[in-house]
């Protein structure tokens, strides 16, 4: 399903001296269809899609999203990180109650908090890796 189903690609008005160069590209039918579909899903023209993707690659980053699975994975990691942070908050609340009169086993709470902190760092690293690959 297109990301912008109600948006029709439209040409931007621009300075006539801007982008006066034309480039011809040879594509297979499959490549042309894939690029056309990707541009349509993003609500841009094929020319704008190709220019943006090419310039992004040339500059070492990509401004055009091309992998819905990757976007989904990033969203899931972000949600996971939020859930883990809530668990950490709950652990802190348990620690407060226990420190107010209970007796946790020696090192148990510290070990759990250390493991949680390490896991949060791993989730952050994984999310950063995914975002870096997407860019």
Last residue of a domain, which of 16, 46, 65? 65
Region of poorest pLDDT, from 52-61, 83-92, 102-111: 102-111
Residues 67-87: pLDDT tens digits?
666 667 777 788 788 878 877
Map residue 62 onto helix, strand or coil: coil
Please give the pLDDT value at position 36. 92
Query: CA-based Rg of the chain, rounded to a whole angstrom?
Result: 24
135: number of CA atoms within 13 Å, CB side? 9
* Residues 87, 126 share a domain: yes
* Residues 79, 37 share a domain: no
d(CA 54, CA 59): 9
Please give the pLDDT value at position 134. 54
Please give the pLDDT value at position 62. 62
Please give the pLDDT value at position 29. 92
* Residues 32, 16 share a domain: yes
Structure tokens at 46: 């094929």
Residues 11-69: pLDDT tens digits?
555 555 566 788 888 989 998 999 999 888 888 888 888 888 888 778 877 655 556 66
pLDDT for 9 beyond 60: no
* Residues 39, 4 share a domain: yes
Last residue of a domain, which of 29, 45, 65? 65
Full-model pTM: 0.39
Please give the pLDDT value at position 53. 83
Q: Which domain covers residue 99, as residue numbers?
A: 68-134
Last residue of a domain, which of 21, 41, 65? 65
* Residues 41, 15 share a domain: yes
């Amino acid at each position: 399903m297109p990301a912008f189903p109600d948006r029709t690609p439209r040409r931007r008005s621009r300075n006539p001296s801007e982008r006066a160069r034309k480039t011809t590209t040879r594509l297979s039918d499959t490549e042309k269809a894939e690029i056309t579909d990707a541009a349509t899903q993003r609500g841009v023209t094929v020319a704008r899609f190709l220019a943006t993707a090419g310039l992004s690659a040339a500059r070492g980053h990509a401004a055009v999203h091309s992998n819905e699975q990757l976007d989904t994975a990033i969203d899931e990691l972000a949600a996971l990180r939020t859930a883990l942070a809530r668990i950490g908050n709950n652990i802190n609340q348990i620690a407060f109650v226990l420190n107010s009169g209970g007796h946790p086993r020696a090192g148990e709470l510290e070990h759990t908090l250390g493991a949680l902190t390490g896991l949060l760092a791993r989730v952050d690293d994984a999310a950063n890796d995914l975002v870096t690959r997407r860019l």
